Amino acid sequence: MSESGIYGIMKIILRFLMTIVFGVAGYQFAQYTLTIPVSWLSHTLQPLAWTIFSIIFFALCGFLATHIIWWILKKTGKLFENMLQNVSVPDIVVAIIGLILSLLLANLVAIPFQFINIPGIGFYIAIALNILFAGVGVTAFLKRRDDVWATVTHVFGRGARLAGKRGKDAAPQNLTLSDLMHQMPQETAAGKKVLDTSALIDGRIMDIANTGFLEGILMLPRFVLTELQGVADSSDPARRARGRKGLNVVSDLQKIKTMIVNIVDISMKDLKRDKVDEALVELCKKLDAKILTTDYNLNQIARINGVRVLNVNDLANSLKPQFLPGDMVKIDVIRPGKETGQGIGYLEDGTMLVVEDGESAIGSTSDIVITSMLQTSAGRMVFGKLKR
């Protein structure tokens, strides 16, 4: 299959380089064989003819080998692409820095070995040192990733840019765990809130933010954004619509000038967790942050682990009209309840009202006297009886 565009150009360049490199290798091979005293070539072939033949033969091998090498490069590239999908940007940057510094150190250490009187031994020692130092250096830098990344961002003045932008018109930023823990500890101590996928899909957070009741810094972990994108890419139309709604909420939140929305470049692997809920709880514990959610199960898990929870459902329930025993409301009793004699109706805000003796009033509008209420994080139920 022929390549087109940038890949076609890259393949042409690779074929040209391979032909040149192999041709040079052929020339060196010819010169080497002609210097061997016992070589039969020096007695049977002319040096010029042998050199030309070697160059052409090796160059042709390089030209033909391009197809194999290109195939290997494409497969390797796809493999690395799949591997890097779950790796954060700080991990990549820190690994590259570790690799560069390790290779520089390895080549400095290898310099004295170039003076050993054994031909070629210095070259092989240098290769071994480069491989050893590269492996050890990258591993060491990744183990100290947070410290290295904090140093890099400080050197390039990121701390100054953060201080300059955290005003009225502050723009959304991509931060790491080190940035949040070390570079803005005081300002965010009382206002850090970590967003959950359910809160974004629910959408009511936008109404709360627009009214000005939501303050502080909202943090959106990269793995939550990835999960949200996965929902938006779902083949199921309903899930796809919910995912796209969540992404639109993120975009709208970033446009609110009084809000600061920071995307945290951290993966579940960094937090040593396999599930999104567990990773969210662990992140909140590290940052001493609150979690903003509508997920009942996440709400319970967070509270068990000592993480403060801002449940949008709790807020919505607290804003519903309050009733006292003896208050009277008028509702339509629409269906029987679970228990014998019960009837079920709904208030204007959607709250279920269980009428203890309301089965006889099904299909009619009746005056109901409130007797009690039951409030939970999952919702609110009101109990009453028919006015006699």
Same domain, 200 and 335: no
Domain count of the fold of the chain:
3
Assess if residue 323 is contained within a domain: no
* Residue 43 resides in a domain: yes
Q: Are residues 308 and 353 in the same domain?
A: no
Residues 120, 163 within the same domain: no
pLDDT value of residue 104: 92
> What pLDDT is recorded for position 169?
46
Q: What is the CATH number of the domain that holds 224?
A: 3.40.50.1010
351 located within any domain: yes
* The pLDDT of residue 146: 73
Do 264 and 350 sit in the same domain of this protein? no
| 84 found inside a domain | yes
In this prediction, the residues of the chain whose per-residue pLDDT falls under 50 are: 1, 158-172, 183-190
Which among 145, 177, 208 is the end of a domain? 145
Its pTM stands at 0.46
pLDDT tens track for 153-188? 766 654 444 444 444 444 445 655 555 555 444 444
Interior angle at CA 49, CA 43 and CA 50, nearest 5: 60
Among 145, 179, 209, the domain boundary falls at: 145
Do residues 233 and 341 share a domain?
Answer: no
How confident is the model at residue 347, as a pLDDT? 84
151 assigned to some structural domain: no
- List the domain range (segments joined by +) for residue 362: 328-386
CATH of the domain at 367: 2.40.50
Q: Tell me, what's the pLDDT at 190?
A: 44
Q: Where does a domain end: 145, 170, 191?
A: 145
Whether residues 170 and 268 fall in one domain: yes
